[in-house]
Structure 1
Amino acid sequence: MSVELVVFLLVVALAAGWVDAVVGGGGLVQLPVLLLALPGAPPSAILATDKLSSISGTTASAVGFARNAGAELRVAVPAGVLGLAASGAGALTAGTVPATVFRPFVLVALLVVACVVILRPGIGTASGGGGRHAAAPRLAGVVVLVGVALPFYNGLVGPGTGAMILLALSVLLRMDFLTGSATAKVVNVGANLGALVVFAAQGHVFWLLGLGMGACNVLGARLGTRTALRRGSGFIRATLLCVVAALLVKLGVDQLG
């Protein structure tokens, strides 16, 4: 790899850390760039390196949010534990998925995020109890969705998981975006760790590149966490829409090309 390419990937990791801290889904920025930058690498190695970078920033932002905007522990703890196992299971099957299917998965995830946010403008701007008053069956269903289904997708493909967890919590439990972000970060740490352990055991991680990108991801996450906490839920929603729109255009053009 050239020095220029390495520097470019480090900058991308910093940007992905910022995006992940503010709205989740930093993999939507980082993974497509890794796929383009390393066309000859096995898909599992790219996924593994992305996870190593991502877990660094997600952990940093989870700590930052925990100090200033508490997570809903009734959801975060069980979903995080389940996510550890579910993401590992997804990672075990990742080697069977060809790289050509990644882009359509990302496009579908982005379209779902965009439609939900646009059609429900009040989502995430006001708290509806954050799950504290939800009935047990409803709460259990949300825990299964964000702790099993989405983490399995995270281990299998990955990008957009954090944003989808945030949206699920905001739509189904009426969490505001700050509480939802804090909760989603805890779940995402478990999901990223489960996948990373499997990928590392299989020898798929590019450790030097991943650790360098992870350091930049942490820096971006710390900056993004401060921004989100200072600007609030309205800013998180606006940023989410901007990021999703820009990536939809780019990936759509790439897919048609």
Structure 2
Amino acid sequence: MACSTSGAIRSRSEGFTGVFGRGSTAAHCTRAPVPGRDGRGYACRPFSSGVRVDLLVPELAWLVCIAFMAGLVDAAVGGGGLVQLPGLFTALPQHAPAALLGTNKFSAVFGTMAAGWRYARNVRFPWALVLVAAATAFMFAFLGATAVSLLPRDAVRPLILGLLIAMLVYTVLKKDFGALHRPRVLGHRDLALALVMGAAIGFYDGLFGPGTGSFLIFLFIRFFGLDFLRASAASKIVNIATNLAALSFFVPAGHVLLAFAVPMAVANVAGAYAGTRLALRGGTPLIRRLFLVLVVVLIARMGWDTVAG
């Protein structure tokens, strides 16, 4: 008997399956589909135990390259999911959306951890502030994931699109935005603000997702005086928390194709090292330019989803 994808996961993945196709009947399984006994050529088994990777070498090679690029982009300025997740839906359309989302998160969390570790060794940023935001982001990301089915995505897209446009206009018009690091003594008000920011960003990442890294960078600059380099570094720590929260749902449910996720994770880590090296060398001016490009891409994608959805 075929497994059925949960309503929450179907809702979370609509934006990708609508563009890249829902694939074959295997997309009705929440776990890795393999030749089996459901009457339509597929059976559901946990993880990727039945996936014949030797028959999917071109797809695996493609996904490894995609994961490297995603790790590079994400380490520098965020937005790796814009590269990696569409690549998964394109290369493996026969698999369930839940499995592809889980595989993406599994791969991405290792790259984000590698980037966070490198930034932590080379860039000084307010750890107390970041850890408070990360802790609340972890808790609220899990809550956001459970609330996916309660809030229509069509109601969220126009709001997020408006926020992205406002963020782009503000950054372009304010030429010195994020150009200088303005450290300050942290008080209770700053920690309370970090608490609220982590909760809001975590819930958004669990509920919707796109643009989380960009919003984090913007907020760290706007409210805490960080420059683009330090804001990008700080955002990685919070992103690690939200990714781990997502995995705490996907892994126990078996929504990870390990045969693809493990080599992709290795490539994502390699890309993260390259991305952090690029960011550390280019500094704030480079990250600012990449940030603006990423926000434009997010606006284009969100606009397309709003019109087409």
- Tell me the TM-score normalized by structure 1: 0.85
**1:9 and 2:63 matched:** yes
Give the alignment partner of residue 121 of structure 2, picking from 58, 67, 79. 67
Structure 1, unmatched stretches of 5+, are none
Q: In the alignment, which residue of structure 1 is the partner of 2:281?
A: 230
Cα separation, 2, equivalents of 1:202 and 1:108? 34
**1:84 and 2:133 matched:** no
Q: 1:111 to 1:53 in 2, by over 3 A?
A: farther
- Which AA in structure 2 matches 1:34? L
**1:198 and 2:252 matched:** no
Query: Does the CA contact (< 8 Å) of 2:116 and 2:233 recur in 1?
Result: yes
Shift of 1:150: 0.9
Cα separation, 2, equivalents of 1:87 and 1:144? 13
Shift of 1:82: 1.8
Shift of 1:34: 3.2
More divergent stretch after superposition (217-226 vs 88-97): 88-97
Q: Write out per-residue CA displacement over residues 110-163 of structure 1, whole angstroms, 9 at most, x where no aligned residue.
A: 53543342232222110121xx43542243123321x21111222223232122
Cα separation, 2, equivalents of 1:228 and 1:196? 27
Shift of 1:7: 2.5
Query: Does the CA contact (< 8 Å) of 1:34 and 1:46 recur in 2?
Result: yes
Cα separation, 1, equivalents of 2:228 and 2:215? 12
- Which AA in structure 2 matches 1:233? T
Cα separation, 2, equivalents of 1:250 and 1:4? 27
Q: Which has the larger helix fraction?
A: 1
Cα separation, 1, equivalents of 2:98 and 2:151? 9
**1:28 and 2:82 matched:** yes
Q: Give the alignment of 1:61-210 within 5 angstroms.
A: 61-94=115-148, 110-129=164-183, 132-145=184-197, 147-210=198-261
Q: 1:15 to 1:133 in 2, by over 3 A?
A: same
- Tell me the TM-score normalized by structure 2: 0.72
Cα separation, 2, equivalents of 1:7 and 1:81? 36
Query: Does the CA contact (< 8 Å) of 1:57 and 1:217 recur in 2?
Result: yes
Query: Does the CA contact (< 8 Å) of 1:47 and 1:157 recur in 2?
Result: no
Q: Write out per-residue CA displacement over residues 52-98 of structure 1, whole angstroms, 9 at most, x where no aligned residue.
A: 11111100000100110023112111222222222222233446778
Cα separation, 1, equivalents of 2:100 and 2:156? 11
Shift of 1:14: 1.2
Query: Does the CA contact (< 8 Å) of 1:150 and 1:161 recur in 2?
Result: yes
Q: In the alignment, which residue of structure 1 is the partner of 2:8?
A: none
Q: Write out per-residue CA displacement over residues 16-58 of structure 1, whole angstroms, 9 at most, x where no aligned residue.
A: 1111111122223223443444455444333222211111110
Q: 1:93 to 1:207 in 2, by over 3 A?
A: farther
Structure 2, unmatched stretches of 5+, are 1-54
Paired-residue identity, %: 37
Query: Does the CA contact (< 8 Å) of 1:54 and 1:214 recur in 2?
Result: yes
Shift of 1:192: 0.7
**1:46 and 2:46 matched:** no
SS in structure 2 of the partner of residue 172 of structure 1:
helix
Query: Does the CA contact (< 8 Å) of 2:73 and 2:80 recur in 1?
Result: yes
**Higher Cα Rg, which structure:** 2
Q: 1:122 to 1:40 in 2, by over 3 A?
A: farther
- Which AA in structure 2 matches 1:207? L
Choose between structure 1 and 2 for higher RCO, CA contacts under 8 A separated by at least 6 residues. 1
Shift of 1:248: 3.9
Cα separation, 2, equivalents of 1:5 and 1:96? 35
